Amino acid sequence: MTDALSTLPEPRHPDPADAPPLRWGVLGPGGIAADFTDALHRHTRQRVVAAGSRSAERAAAFASAHGVERSHGSYEALVSDPEVDVVYVATPHSEHLEHALLAIAAGKHVLVEKPMAVTASEARRIVAAAREAGVFAMEAMWTRYLPQTDIVRQLLEQGALGDVRVVTADFGGRVEYDPASRLWNPDLAGGALLDLGVYTVSWASFALGAPAGIIAAGTLAPTGVDDQVSLVLSSADGAQALLSTTLRATTPSLATISGSEGRVETDSPFWGPSGLRVFRADGTLAAEWRDPYGRPHRDGMAYEAAAVARYIAEGRTESPLHSLAEAVDTLATLDEARRQVGATRVE
C-alpha cells in the first residue's frame, strides 16, 4: 500500500485543446460567464458564438468585450440561434430551472451552472426534460473535471486510501451584507449553502456517495437565508463527512479524504486547480503533486467545457463522472440542510 501512495497516478484528462470544437451560446452574460468564455477561448477550440440577455445593450457589451460573434436581446433568441450547439446557463441559480427548460425545449444541449437548480424537485424537472428531448445535460461542477480530482478519483478506485472513514471540506467567503443582493435575497435563492456549500457537499458525494444521514446546524441572516452552516453527513457504513460554509468569513477552502491506509489533503482552493499531498497511515508524507498546467483559478473551467464537447461527440446525454442523479442527490442534501437550519426556501 505504501508503494501505491508513494507513486501517484497521472491525471487521465487529455489537453482541453484536443476536444472537438462546439459552438456555445452564453445565457446570462455576468461575471462567471465572462470567466467561462475567456477560459474556453484561451485553452480550448470551443468558441462562444453568441451571448443572450434580457438587455440587448448588455449582451452586445459582453460580446464586444469577450470576442463573441453575435449578441441577442432575449433568451428566446439565443436558444433559437441555429449556430448554437450548446447553451451555458449562467444566470443566478434562482433562474436555472426556467432557462434550462427554455434551452432544452429549443433542442439545445445544456451546461447549467451549479447548483443545477434551487431544489431537488426543480433539478428533477430539468433531468426529465433533457431525457425526453434526448439532449445532453450537465451541472457545471467544474471541480470534478480538474486534473487533481482525477488523481484522487484513481486513488479511490484503487483502494489506495483503504477504508474511507472521514471526509472534510470547507468553503467560506466574507460578503458584505446587502439584503437586495443575490447572496442575501431569498427571492434570488440566496444563502451560503446554495452558492458555496454546494462545492463541499459535492466533494462529500464524490468520496462517499449520497448520505444516509444528515445533521445541519447554522445561523440565518436577517433576510432568512442561511449565512453559516456546518454539516455532518453519514454513509450507511458509518463514514462521515464534516463540512462547513459561511458568508461571514473567508475560510481555507481545503478538503481531505482519510482512510485506514492513508489520507489525501488538497491545497487551497480545493474547488479549483491547485495541488494535493498524500500521507500514509502513520502520518508520514508519501507524495505530493502541484498543478503544472498553467490554467489557474477559473481558467480551470476549460476542463469541464472540453469534457462536455467530448461527451456530446460520443453521443452521451450525461456525464459519466458526475451524473444527473448525483446532481439531484446533492440538491436533496442541501434541501434537508436548509430545512434543518430554518432557511427561507424557494420552491
> Could you give the strand order of the β-sheet that contains 164-172, starting from the edge strand earlier in sequence?
213-220, 226-234, 240-246, 164-172, 255-259, 262-266, 275-280, 285-290
| pLDDT digits 0-9 by tens, 316-341 | 999 999 999 999 999 999 999 999 99
Q: Please say whether the dihedral angle defined by the alpha carbons of residues 175, 177, 182 and 188, taken in this order, is positive or negative.
A: positive
Number of CB atoms found within 10 A of residue 114's CB: 22
Q: What does the DSSP 8-state code read for residue 210?
A: S
The pLDDT tens digits of the residues spanning 67-105 come to: 999 999 999 999 999 999 999 999 999 999 999 999 999
Tens digit of pLDDT for each residue in 122-137?
999 999 999 999 999 9
* Per-residue model confidence as pLDDT tens digits over 274-318: 999 999 999 999 999 999 999 999 999 999 999 999 999 999 999
* Res. 1: pLDDT tops 60: no
Say what the pLDDT of residue 347 is: 54
Q: What is the DSSP string of 246-313?
A: ESSS-----EEEEESSEEEEE-S-TTSS-EEEEEETTS-EEEEEE--SS--GGGGHHHHHHHHHHHHH
pLDDT band at residue 2, thresholds of 50, 70 and 90?
Answer: very low
pLDDT computed for residue 344 by the predictor: 77
167 backbone dihedrals φ, ψ, rounded to 5°: -125, 135
Q: What is the pLDDT of residues 29-53, one digit of tens each?
A: 999 999 999 999 999 999 999 999 9
Write b or e for each residue in 67-81: b if 16 or more Cβ atoms lie within 10 A of its Cβ, otherwise e: ebebbbbebebbbbb
CA-CA-CA-CA torsion for 58, 189, 195, 108, nearest 10 degrees?
-60
Beta-bridged to residue 256, according to DSSP, are 168, 265
Query: Which residue in 187, 47, 217, 196 sits closest to 115, CA to CA?
Result: 196
What are 340-344's contacts with CB under 8 Å, separation 24+?
340/214, 340/215, 340/216, 340/217, 341/216, 341/217, 341/218, 341/219, 341/220, 341/226, 341/229, 342/220, 343/191, 343/193, 343/218, 343/220, 343/224, 343/225, 343/226, 344/186, 344/191, 344/223, 344/224, 344/225
Cα separation, 216 vs 332, in Å, equals 13
pLDDT of 345 above 80: no
What's residue 13's pLDDT? 85
pLDDT exceeds 80 at position 258: yes
Residue 227 has pLDDT above 80, yes or no: yes
First to last CA, the chain: 48
Question: Can you read off the three cell numbers belonging to residue 173?
Answer: 467567503
C-alpha Rg value of the chain to the nearest Å: 20
Residue at grid coordinates 453568441: 50
| pLDDT confidence band for 204 (50 / 70 / 90) | very high
Active site (annotated) includes residue 108: no
Task: Name the percent of the chain lying above pLDDT 70.
Answer: 98
Q: What is the pLDDT of residues 53-66, one digit of tens each?
A: 999 999 999 999 99
Confidence of residue 223 (pLDDT cuts 50, 70, 90): very high
- E strand or H helix that includes residue 97: helix 96-105
Computed over every residue of the chain, the mean pLDDT equals 96
Q: Tell me what the mean pLDDT of segment 252-257 comes to.
A: 98
Q: Which of 96, 114, 263, 338 is catalytic?
A: 114
Cα 323 to the chain's mean position, in Å? 12
**Which residue carries 489537453 as its cell?**
15
Phi, psi angle pair for 151, to nearest 5°: -60, -45
Reduce the DSSP state of residue 147 to 3 states and report it: helix
Q: What SS3 state is found at 242?
A: strand
Please compute, for residue 45, the number of CA atoms within 13 A of its CA located in the half-sphere on the CB side. Answer: 9
Distance between CA 223 and CA 231 in Å, rounded? 21
**What domains are defined for the chain?**
16-142 (3.40.50.720), 148-290+322-341 (3.30.360.10)
- The C-alpha cell at 156 is 479511490
All three cell numbers of 70, joined, read 453575435
